[in-house]
Every structure is written in structure tokens, then in C-alpha cells.
């Protein structure tokens, strides 16, 4: 009994640094949105170039999250967490002293992106391993998902406040300080499973998966400049991802250990859950970029004015996330996800119908509030549905895949909506704003369909997971 109590106490103690780590990574991605004007003016660049830097940060995370999750098995979860935090901190410091846009791309887009890909999979793997009981795990994922969602939603407000009072460089300095705090708190974390240095690493699979994702998102970014190039890059991305799947399937058939087990793609519940995750983060990132860029570039708002408006979204997301634990006891996770999508879509429609043209700035509040409530309602259930679909042996892989899918959604949201908006700003700003949001609403409708298709009874399959075939060294 005392051992069980001790384990529970330890799990609660490590939850804070894990949740803070997720908060920081989400905050870093969204806070850049309110620095667009300040960075472009200070570094002598354009809004479109800053958009590329933001998307690149999200893309690096998405492209490397799967290999990052796999490395946790080989080098240990706590070691990867620490390495990722350190790399993220270095990237923040480098960005803070940037003399031109190239340096923030190296510091923020690459170093912080790689650091995030290393530290986020351990966050979800450790949570799954430390919280073995379904209810306590749901609460833990609720806390972490809430911190992630709040970080993304509060990024514009906090980033705007820091940027307006201290400058955009100080915003990166604050990130570095938070990293130091997390590393101090994370010293209490003990890895429940030993690292296995002999575990093989599928380098070919890692290169193919990363390359396919990079090509796919880069193709979307190229749409407004060269349609044929965009088509070529997008098609190439799809083909490379198909090659990646063929390679991991061939590896399994030959007895080698692939980057991902194909069993991950045969679980209907998990697959649909990841579609909803991707769509949720796509809408959150897309709306944040569109509204922030529109307010600053078209309406001339400064960073803090823009950030204050996002308080409605942050508040809605926080309230819904805090209520997630209570709601999970009364409603099925599938029900919560299905309910969240219509709320979010309705919020986006309100942003189009109420907040365009010369409408009062407060007209943005109802739409942002609904978006926050909708996303807060479904972020946690989606994560829990996916992570709980597999047992401990596949947690490293499903965590990396799940986080990659979510971050791919973030990068696609900024790329798709940002491309439409930036193209519209140079011609008809109001039309670009409305069209970008309507595209996000349409994508949200696809996410709702995926949520409806999730099996009505969602239960963990821990005892029935297929065992991994023995791996041979290469």
C-alpha cells in the first residue's frame, strides 16, 4: 500500500514540469504571431518571411517528432527530455540576440523546433507510464493538454505584453528563463523504464518521414508564388510518405525494427483520434495567425492590443479544460470531441460574420470565446483516446506519431490560412481574412466527421496489443 502511495505522490510531483514543458512549446509557437510587425520592422524583412519562420518552427517539430519519440526507447525518456529542454533554451537565447531574420530561423525555427521534438514525446510517454489508472491518466492528460491549449491561446496575450513593454527579444529571454525553471523541477523525474542502448534506430525511416512532411508543407507555402512548384512539392511529399510506409512494412517483414510499427495504423480508434487532433491544432494555429496578422497589418493594432483580444479565447479554453475531468466522468470522450467541433466551427463563422470590415474590435470576442470553449472541450479526450489505444511497449512510437500529427496540424494551419491571408492582404484584405477563416471552418467540418466515426465505446486495449516482433541488429 505504501509503495502505491509513494508512486502516486511521485507521479503528482512530476506532473508540473511536464505540463509546463507542453505549455512552453505551445506558447512559443503562437506568441510569434503578435511579434510579426515588430520583428519584420526591426530585422528589415516582410510579414510573409516571418510567416515562413513561424511555419518552419512548427514544421521542424512535426517532421522530427516521430524520430524523437523513437529515441526515447534507446536513450531514455528523462535524458531526451533534458536534452530537448537544453536545446530549446539555447535556441531561445540565440533568437534573442538576432541581427537579422536568418538567426531567429536558426534559433527559433530549427534549434527550438528540434528541442521540442526531443522533449514532447517524453512528456506524454512519462505521463502514460506514471499514471496507469484510467481516471488518473485522464486527469493528467487533461492538465497537460490544458496547459498546451492555454499556451497556444495565451501566447498572443503574453507575447504581446512582453513585446510591447520590453521588446520582442525579451520574449525569447523569458522562454529561456522558463526552461531553467522546468529543468530544475524535472530533476525529480525518474524514468519508470530503463533505456535500451542496443535498440536499433531506423535511419531510413526517419529521413523518409521527415522529408515527406517537409515537402508537403513547403508545397502549401509555395501556392501563392508558384502553383506548379507547389503541386510538385506536395505530390513529392505524398509519394515520399508512401515510400516511408512501404519501408517500415518491409522492415517488419524482414524481422528488423522499423521507425514505427504498422500496428499503429491498423487501430481505427487511434487513427480517427489523430485526425481530430490534427484538425484541432490546425484550427487553433490557423485562427491565431489569421486574426493576429489581420489586426496588426490591416487594422494597425500593436502587439499588446492584439494579445488582449485573445483573452476571450484563452479564457474559454481554460474554463473548458478545467471542466474536462468532471465532464469525462459524465460523458464519453467521443461525445466531448463531437460537441467541441460544432462550437469551434460556430466561433470561426462568428469571426467572419461579425468581426470583418469596420466592425468594433470587441466583435471578435464572441467568436474567439466559442473557439476556446470548443477546443478546450476536445483537446484532452482526443489525446486520451489515442494514447490509451496502445500498451506500454508502443508508447514511445504512438506518442511520437500523435505529437507529430498534432504539430503537423499546427504547421498546416499557419501555412494554409497564412498563405490565403497574406495573398489577400496585398489585394483585398477583408476578402483574404474571410476566405482564410472559412477554409478553416470547412476543415473543422472534416474533423467533426472523423469524431462521429470514432467507435461509440472507447476502451484501452492494453492487454491485447500485438507484441512487437523481435528486432535484429543492423
CA 132 from centre of chain: 24
Burial class (CB in 10 A: 0-12, 13-18, 19+), 263: middle
List Cα–Cα distances, 399 to 118, 333, 336, 357, in angstroms.
11, 19, 22, 43
Looking at every residue in the chain, the average pLDDT score rounds to: 82
Which DSSP category does 172 fall into? H
pLDDT for 9: 57
Max mean pLDDT range (356-360, 415-419, 423-427, 444-448): 444-448
Residues 241-249, mean pLDDT to the nearest whole number = 92
Per-residue pLDDT band at 472 (split at 50, 70, 90): very low
First to last CA, the chain: 44
- The predicted-structure confidence for 62-100, as pLDDT tens digits, reads as follows 788 888 878 888 888 899 999 999 999 999 999 999 889
Which DSSP category does 53 fall into? H
Q: Are 157 and 303 in contact (CB under 8 A)?
A: no
| pLDDT of 124 above 60 | yes
381 grid coordinates: 479526450
pLDDT for 242: 93
Which of 113-127, 228-242, 338-352, 390-404 bottoms out in mean pLDDT, i.e. has the lowest?
A: 390-404
| pLDDT of 294 above 60 | yes
pLDDT for 220: 74
How many other CB atoms are there within 10 angstroms of residue 134's CB atom? 14
CA dist 446 and 341 (Å) reads: 10
Residues 292-316, mean pLDDT to the nearest whole number = 80
CA dist 152 and 12 (Å) reads: 24
CA dist 148 and 156 (Å) reads: 14
| pLDDT of 203 above 50 | yes
Burial class (CB in 10 A: 0-12, 13-18, 19+), 143: buried
Residues 121-128, mean pLDDT to the nearest whole number = 84
| pLDDT of 393 above 90 | no
**Which is more confidently placed, 43 or 407?**
43
Amino acid at each position: 500500500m505504501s509503495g502505491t502511495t509513494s508512486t502516486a505522490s511521485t507521479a503528482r510531483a512530476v506532473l508540473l514540469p511536464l505540463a509546463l514543458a507542453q505549455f512552453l512549446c505551445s506558447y512559443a509557437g503562437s506568441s510569434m504571431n503578435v511579434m510579426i510587425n515588430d520583428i519584420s520592422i526591426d530585422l528589415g524583412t516582410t510579414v510573409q518571411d516571418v510567416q515562413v519562420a513561424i511555419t518552419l518552427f512548427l514544421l521542424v517539430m512535426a517532421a522530427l517528432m516521430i524520430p524523437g519519440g523513437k529515441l526515447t526507447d534507446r536513450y531514455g525518456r528523462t535524458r531526451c527530455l533534458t536534452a530537448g529542454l537544453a536545446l530549446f533554451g539555447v535556441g531561445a537565447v540565440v533568437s534573442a540576440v538576432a541581427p537579422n531574420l536568418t538567426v531567429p530561423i536558426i534559433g527559433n525555427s530549427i534549434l527550438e523546433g528540434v528541442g521540442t521534438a526531443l522533449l514532447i514525446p517524453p512528456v506524454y510517454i512519462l505521463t502514460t507510464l506514471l499514471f496507469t489508472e484510467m481516471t488518473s491518466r485522464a486527469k493528467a492528460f487533461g492538465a497537460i493538454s490544458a496547459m498546451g491549449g492555454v499556451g497556444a491561446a495565451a501566447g498572443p496575450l503574453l507575447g504581446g505584453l512582453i513585446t510591447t513593454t520590453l521588446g520582442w527579444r525579451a520574449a525569447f529571454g523569458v522562454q529561456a528563463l522558463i526552461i531553467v525553471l522546468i529543468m530544475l523541477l524535472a530533476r525529480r523525474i525518474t524514468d519508470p523504464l530503463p533505456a535500451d542502448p542496443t535498440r536499433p534506430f531506423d535511419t531510413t525511416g526517419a529521413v523518409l518521414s521527415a522529408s515527406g512532411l517537409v515537402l508537403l508543407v513547403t508545397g502549401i507555402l509555395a501556392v501563392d508564388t508558384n502553383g506548379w512548384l507547389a503541386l510538385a512539392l506536395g505530390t513529392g511529399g505524398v509519394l515520399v510518405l508512401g515510400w516511408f510506409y512501404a519501408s517500415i512494412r518491409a522492415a517488419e517483414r524482414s524481422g528488423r525494427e522499423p521507425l514505427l510499427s504498422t500496428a499503429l495504423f491498423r487501430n481505427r480508434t487511434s487513427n480517427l483520434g489523430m485526425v481530430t487532433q490534427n484538425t484541432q491544432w490546425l484550427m487553433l494555429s490557423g485562427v491565431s495567425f489569421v486574426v493576429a496578422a489581420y489586426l496588426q497589418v490591416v487594422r494597425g493594432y500593436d502587439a499588446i492590443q492584439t494579445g488582449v483580444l485573445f483573452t476571450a479565447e484563452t479564457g474559454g479554453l481554460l474554463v473548458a479544460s478545467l471542466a474536462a475531468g468532471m465532464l469525462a466522468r459524465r460523458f464519453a470522450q467521443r461525445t466531448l470531441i463531437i460537441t467541441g467541433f460544432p462550437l469551434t466551427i460556430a466561433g470561426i463563422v462568428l469571426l467572419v460574420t461579425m468581426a470583418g470590415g469596420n466592425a468594433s474590435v470587441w466583435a471578435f470576442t464572441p467568436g474567439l470565446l466559442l473557439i476556446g470553449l470548443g477546443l478546450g472541450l476536445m483537446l484532452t479526450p482526443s489525446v486520451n483516446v489515442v494514447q490509451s489505444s496502445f500498451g506500454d511497449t508502443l508508447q514511445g512510437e504512438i506518442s511520437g506519431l500523435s505529437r507529430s500529427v498534432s504539430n503537423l496540424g499546427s504547421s498546416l494551419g499557419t501555412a494554409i490560412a497564412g498563405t490565403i491571408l497574406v495573398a489577400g492582404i496585398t489585394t483585398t484584405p477583408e476578402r483574404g481574412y474571410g476566405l482564410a477563416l472559412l477554409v478553416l471552418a470547412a476543415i473543422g467540418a472534416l474533423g467533426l466527421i472523423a469524431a462521429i466515426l470514432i467507435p461509440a465505446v472507447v476502451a484501452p486495449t492494453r492487454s491485447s496489443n500485438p507484441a512487437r516482433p523481435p528486432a535484429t541488429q543492423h
